[in-house]
Structure 1
């Protein structure tokens, strides 16, 4: 994420490194969305993640992360990195948004999925044998570009890959700021009452620092206005038709409380399929433009 745009062509990353050839997936004004094509772009995404998670949101970096100014871990080398790029920006390769994607067909068996650090995914995975999963994580947008346009283009990029690869299930963690369950009690109760996944596919927490969503408030009453208080990303997933696991996990390093989101592609609201296009056509660019640097 050095200069956003250059008149000189940059070398393609060898296919052996796991990067797809350069291809613009979508375009909206000055913004493009595509996969990272080089280690330098991945590092730029890690730099943006550090800025958002540690500098903006107040997570606690390790000494290594603080020294490097990067948010990175062992999963980065095995994931694809979706980038939203501002062609007019002149910093950090122009990268203003990113998603980290882990396709089950490309997963490193020794690492598994990142979400398995907090949730036992066995019930979900075993209930859907032969299906293709896409884990979404490390989603963030630079403060200067936190707008509906940027988020829409990022989602277009994800949807394009889901359609192209015939993904069956998307999943990942969404975070609430803070580690006190009572500070978001209404929201957790709302999720527990209205959005729980099928019990047979529920993924129990793997840490003691967890609590059941339906037990997060003693009143039993739910203010429907609590939906408006949910994190924007989580609201977006719920509108698509996503469900959540029955427990939330407290992540003290990042200063967040995390819920596991599961989105069955076959059950996505038709309203949103129509919005982005069944073949992800809404922000698509012509082939002759899509392959240009």
Structure 2
């Protein structure tokens, strides 16, 4: 897929790949606004100086962006065809292996999972964020359509990546973490553990788990992954910089319920255009 490739479009919203270094810089600025200004992440000196959330992985990733051609209220974030209102970072296995690995490996031991499936094609998803006015079903669904078309276009078999619970107080999350660990643990062939030096046990024996409440408290992103059929890795990781507790999402395409294909398209189907 070429830079700028359009992967979804509906009304004034277009989801496409960033086409230039300047658009990637705007995606980093959007991430800064959401992670550091709106939420509780702690910027380092470079982030403060530039007003961007950036790391070394940005240079090797594809950046999926959502653009609204009708948006007029947002300051900055303007691209040629409108205003950038959302972004997702995508890292294919072939690219990661040529450049030292995946971001996720800094928190989770993904090596055994990759080695257990040498014939499958993995895609890492990360740095997901959407401006607050656009955190509605249509905009989020459009980003998912864009990711799915990217998955289809590149013949991806497995999606994975870190997803976050806001705040680092484990007492606040013990019911949610226990709910995830008890109900979405992977079978042995998909087992992934948090790195021993970072691992936090998700199963507190004294935690009272209210299934309905835990599901209500889940971030929409994690809830969406669960509905699609993902597994949750063993152990969580506290990310002090982003003020989050991270869990690992593993989503084999073969797990996705076929009813979604009628809406989003068949896996490994050749895309036109």
Aligned equivalent of 1:7 = none
- Asked if structure 1 preserves the Cα contact closer than 8 Å seen for 2:174 and 2:207, the reply is no
Aligned to 1:199: 188
CA contact (8 A) 1:136 1:170 kept: yes
Check whether the contact 2:161–2:248 (CA below 8 A) recurs between aligned residues.
yes
Partner of 2:263: 275
Corresponding position: 1:35 with 2:24 = no
**Which residue matches 1:226?**
214
Q: Secondary structure at the match of 2:4?
A: coil
| Deviates most, 119-128 or 191-200 | 191-200
Say which of 105, 113, 116 aligns to 1:116.
105
CA spacing shift, 1:25–1:198, aligned 2, 3 Å: same
Q: Following the alignment from structure 2 to structure 1, what is the Cα–Cα distance between the partners of residues 151 and 260?
A: 14
| Residue 256 (str. 1) matches residue 244 (str. 2) | yes
Is 1:182 matched with 2:171? yes
Taking a change above 3 Å as real, the CA distance of residues 25 and 53 of structure 1, as seen in their structure-2 partners, is same
TM-score by length of structure 1 reads 0.85
Which of 71, 80, 88 aligns to 2:70? It is 88
Instruction: Please say if residues 160 and 280 of structure 1, whose CA atoms lie closer than 8 Å, have aligned partners that are also in contact.
Output: no
**How high is the TM-score relative to the length of structure 2?**
0.91
Q: Which residue of 2 aligns with 1:237?
A: 225
Q: 2:96 — aligned with what?
A: 107
Structure 1: distance between partners of 2:68 and 2:193: 39
**Which secondary structure does the structure 1 equivalent of 2:192 belong to?**
coil
Distance 1:243 1:135 in 2: 14
Equivalenced residues, count: 265
Q: For residues 69-80 of structure 1, what are the structure 2 equivalents within 5 Å?
A: 69-80=51-62
Unaligned runs of 5+ in 1: 1-18, 288-293
Distance 1:219 1:85, change over 3 A: closer
C-alpha separation in 1, matches of 2:268 and 2:213: 32
Separation in structure 1 between the aligned mates of residue 238 and residue 196 of structure 2, nearest angstrom: 9
1:221 Cα offset (Å): 4.7
